[in-house]
Amino acid sequence: MDKSGAVDGRSMIRRRAGLRLWLSAGWLAVLCALALFAPWIAPKDPLAQDLFLGRLPPFWVQGAEPGYWLGTDSLGRDVLSRIIHGARVALAVALAAGTITCLVGASLGLMAGFLRGWVDMVISRLIDIWMAFPPVLFSILLIAVLGPGLGSIIIAIVVIDWTRFARVVRAEAMAQGAMDYVASARVAGRGRLGTMVREILPNVLPTIVVLLTLEMGIAVIVEAILSFVNLSISTDDPTWGGMIAEGRTSVHQAWWVLVFPLVTLFLTVLSFSQLGEGLKDRFDPVLR
């Protein structure tokens, strides 16, 4: 006969959720620290070029130079310092773009799902049209229009990804709106806006929070992709995507230029996503 028992499964999920919540939150906390204190933590100046120190390998490989822990790129810039400074752009984009996309998308979704009628029709059509655009292409287009820069990237992400929140929140709002507690609120004389905010929002909040962490991870990726295609920020400040683009071209001669920013990016995106999953498990009333 089968081995599993329902009781065992639940506690295992809880343990796993706890572990991944702490691991991902931990990594993100480290990143925040790196970003905040970059100028003091980074061992070298991220912009300092020295062609005599070009393509030095990481410290455990033959031929490494002390002080350049993760090696240097083709222009002699310290990989580790560049990664630390790259965290600043990444997190700035994640927080700003993530929260604004969340606000815009969730609001529109809430309105569409709760107010229904022509509001819903217009917003739904807009969502359909938006979903017919390939997101990466759309973002590249927008950056071309808006010009490079941190602000442009944030706007681009908001413009492209608001549908992610809008769809989900709209569905939840529609489901919640049909429930009894909303009807009783209306009967009690609450205006539509009041009902929307006070009754529906709290119930939709867990979903929104989970999507928010997901969106932050996506924002980091979008910035990386744009840097990769050379359309990100305009200054010489290092970005993970830019480092990856350089690393890609010299991958056979200096693999570390690609590997370390890639690993950092990988862990960051993974952490945002797992943070969201962990939060979702926490919020799930079935598992409590």
Partner 1 sequence: MPFLRIFLLRLLTTAITLAGVAVIVFFVIRVVPGNPIAMMLPPGATEADIARLSALYGLDKPLVAQFGIWIAGVVQGDFGTSITTRQPVLDLVLGRLPATLELSIMALVMACLLGGAAALTGTRYRGGRTEGAIDVANGMALSVPDFLWGLVLILLFGVLVPVFHISGRVTPSLDLPFATNFYLFESLIRLRFDLWADIVAHMFMPALALAIPLAAIIGQLLKQSLKETMNLDYVTLARTKGYGETRVILREALRNAALPTLTLVGVQFTFLIGGTVIIERLFSYEGLGNMAIDAVINRDLPLIQGIVILFAVIFTAVNLIVDLLYTVLNPRLRHG
Partner 2 sequence: MSFLSVQNLSVRLKKGPPLLRRVSLEVAAGEVRGLVGESGAGKSMIGKAVLGILPPSVEVTGGEILLDGVDLLRLPLAERRRRIGALAALIPQDPLTALNPSHRIGPQITDRLVDILGWTRADAEARARALLAEVQIPDPDRVLRSYPHELSGGMRQRILIASAFAAEPKLIVADEPTTALDVTVQKQILKLIAGMQARHGTALLFVTHDLGVVSKVCQRLSVLYAGMVVEDTSVADFFAAPRHAYSAALLAATPKYTDPSAGLTPVPEAVIAAVQAEVAAFDRGGAHG
Given the rule CB under 8 A, which residues bind partner 1?
Answer: 2-4, 9, 12, 125-126, 128-129, 131-137, 140-142, 144-145, 147, 217-218, 221, 224-225, 228-229, 244, 248, 251-252, 255, 258-259, 262, 265-266, 269-270, 273-274, 277
Residue 57 main-chain phi, psi, to 5 deg: -80, 170
User: Which residue spans within 136-235 are E strands per DSSP?
Assistant: none
User: DSSP character for 178?
Assistant: T
Residue whose CB is less far from partner 1, 91 or 258? 258
Residue whose CB is less far from partner 2, 6 or 132? 6
User: DSSP character for 78?
Assistant: B
Residue from 4, 63, 66, 118 in contact with partner 2 (CB under 8 A): 4
Q: Decide if residue 286 touches partner 2 (CB under 8 A).
A: no
**Residue 228 binds which of partner 2, partner 1, none (CB < 5-8 A, kind-dependent):** partner 1
State how far the Cα of 22 lies from the Cα of 278, in Å rounded to an integer: 9
Residue whose CB is less far from partner 1, 28 or 196? 28
Map the footprint of partner 2 across residues 118-177, applying CB under 8 A. none
**Residue 7 binds which of partner 1, partner 2, none (CB < 5-8 A, kind-dependent):** partner 2
Residue whose CB is less far from partner 1, 143 or 200? 143
Residue whose CB is less far from partner 1, 20 or 88? 20
Min separation Cβ 204 and partner 1, Å: 21
Residue whose CB is less far from partner 2, 8 or 284? 8
**Residue 6 binds which of partner 1, partner 2, none (CB < 5-8 A, kind-dependent):** partner 2
CA 254 from chain center: how many Å? 28
State how far the Cα of 40 lies from the Cα of 45, in Å rounded to an integer: 10
Q: Decide if residue 7 touches partner 2 (CB under 8 A).
A: yes
Please list the alpha-helical segments (H only) found in 178-253. Answer: 180-187, 192-195, 201-228, 240-249
Orientation angle between helical segments 201-228 and 135-146, nearest 10 degrees: 70
Nearest to 238 by CA among 50, 91, 46: 46
Q: Decide if residue 1 touches partner 2 (CB under 8 A).
A: yes
State how far the Cα of 143 lies from the Cα of 170, in Å rounded to an integer: 28
Residue whose CB is less far from partner 1, 195 or 271? 271
Q: CB atoms < 10 A from the CB of 55, how many?
A: 17
Min separation Cβ 286 and partner 2, Å: 17
Q: Tokens for 282?
A: 């926490």
Please work out the total of residues on this chain that contact partner 2, with binding judged by CB under 8 A.
Answer: 6
Amino acid identity, position 139: S
Min separation Cβ 13 and partner 2, Å: 17
State how far the Cα of 111 lies from the Cα of 200, in Å rounded to an integer: 11
Orientation angle between helical segments 79-115 and 240-249, nearest 10 degrees: 120
**Would you tell me which residues interact with partner 2 (CB under 8 A)?**
1-2, 4-7
